[in-house]
Amino acid sequence: MAEEITALWQEAEQHLRAFERLARRTVEEAWLAGDALLQIRQRLPHGAWLPALKERGIAYTTANRFIRLRQQYAEINQVG
pLDDT digits (tens, 9 = 90+) for 18-68: 999 999 999 999 999 999 999 999 999 999 999 999 999 999 999 999 999
| pTM higher than the cut 0.85 | no
Nearest Cα neighbor of 36 from 78, 76, 7 is 76
DSSP designation for 72: H
**What is the Cα–Cα distance from 56 to 72, expressed in whole angstroms?**
25
Cβ of 34: how many Cβ atoms within 10 Å?
Answer: 22
Could you tell me the residue range of the domain that residue 45 belongs to? 2-78
Residues 6+ apart with CB under 8 A from 58: none
16 vs 76, higher pLDDT: 16
Cβ of 32: how many Cβ atoms within 10 Å?
Answer: 15
Where residue 77 falls among pLDDT bands split at 50, 70, 90?
A: confident
73 vs 37, higher pLDDT: 37
Number of structural domains (the chain) is: 1
